Amino acid sequence: MNTDDRYGSDVLADFSRRPAKIDLPVVEAVTDLVLEDVASDFCGSVVRVEGRMVELEDRKGRRRMFPLGPGFLLEGTPVAVRAPRTKQTGLGRTASGSIAGPQERARVARASRIFVEGRHDAELVEKVWGSDLRSEGVVVEYLEGVDHLEEVLAEFRPGPGRRVGVLVDHLVPNSKESRIAEKVARGPHGANVIVVGHPYVDVWQSVKPARLGLTEWPVIPRSIEWKHGICEAFGWPHAEQADIARAWQRILSRVSTYTDLEPQLLGRVEQLIDFVTAE
């Protein structure tokens, strides 16, 4: 008699045994954590926790509620999810990661300024570094484009104690922005002006793609206006400027602290703050 059983052992033999317990890693459902529901394959970032439910939003803006507990993947690893616990720490920190000082009124504005290209840049800097800037008395203004930077500087008249830091998009070799930065550095205000930038086409890209449920930002052909192309890739409305504004607010809502931004932007903003606050 052949003792091999090609159908396996008796399926009832171990019926009374309980399955081995699997200990899953437990993570807190903090805002913007990207999770995937195993049962439905729905992937999105945490928007809120209500009772025993967590709400996720995917990259197309669709939202769904799921019960807390097991049944999720975090970067491909099975996890159980629980509501966040309020943590008390001895030293509070600002959104930029700086140690928060005692609550006090904003400092009187310095003569020095930080200029950024547009409204979206200004709103992002305010959201992450706003507390630090008010503490230092630094005002951020936007240029509505970098093309007329020289005219703005001529009107502002930088000098000792009246420094200017400028943040521009797409500051890469041989770009229009790099040529403007080089010209300003050689100009009459060069000693009191610094122009720095990040390599991204637009400041939107400085938000880590994972915060939007992505592995990377979509690549948009040069023949398509970048922001419109991004909205189209996400399946968001983009016919009017109001649609672009709403898209940016959706992206900005995913930013809470410096950890949500790429290092290429973080270092440049810190450099500007140091430059304009130097005694």
Q: Are 62 and 196 contained in the same domain?
A: no
Q: Are 139 and 200 contained in the same domain?
A: yes
Q: Among residues 82, 98, 125, which one ends one of the domains?
A: 82
- Is the per-residue pLDDT at 203 higher than 90? yes
Q: What is the CATH number of the domain that holds 189?
A: 3.40.50
Q: Are 192 and 141 contained in the same domain?
A: yes
Q: Are 130 and 56 contained in the same domain?
A: no
Q: Are 130 and 196 contained in the same domain?
A: yes
Two structure tokens written together for 218: 């979509």
More confident residue, 231 or 106: 231
Local confidence band at 98 (pLDDT 50, 70, 90 cut-offs): low
How many other CB atoms are there within 10 angstroms of residue 256's CB atom? 14
- Is the per-residue pLDDT at 1 higher than 70? no
- Whole-prediction pTM value? 0.65
- Is the per-residue pLDDT at 211 higher than 50? yes
Average pLDDT value for residue range 208-220: 92
Rounded Cα distance, 22 and 8, in Å: 24
Q: Are 129 and 267 contained in the same domain?
A: yes
Domain presence at residue 159: yes
Q: What is the CATH number of the domain that holds 46?
A: 2.30.30
In this prediction, residue 22 carries a pLDDT of: 64
Rounded Cα distance, 143 and 139, in Å: 13
Question: How many domains would you assign to the chain?
Answer: 2
Q: Which of 130, 278, 260, 273 is nearest to 203 (CA)?
A: 260
Q: Are 72 and 125 contained in the same domain?
A: no
Q: Are 33 and 142 contained in the same domain?
A: no
Q: Which residue range(s) make up the domain with 192?
A: 113-207+255-277
pLDDT digits (tens, 9 = 90+) for 239-249: 999 999 999 99
Q: Are 165 and 259 contained in the same domain?
A: yes
pLDDT digits (tens, 9 = 90+) for 39-77: 888 888 888 888 888 988 877 778 889 999 999 998 778
Q: Are 149 and 200 contained in the same domain?
A: yes
Highest mean pLDDT out of 73-87, 106-120, 231-245: 231-245
- Beta carbons of 89 and 75 less than 8 angstroms apart: no
Two structure tokens written together for 222: 């040069």
Two structure tokens written together for 98: 């700086």
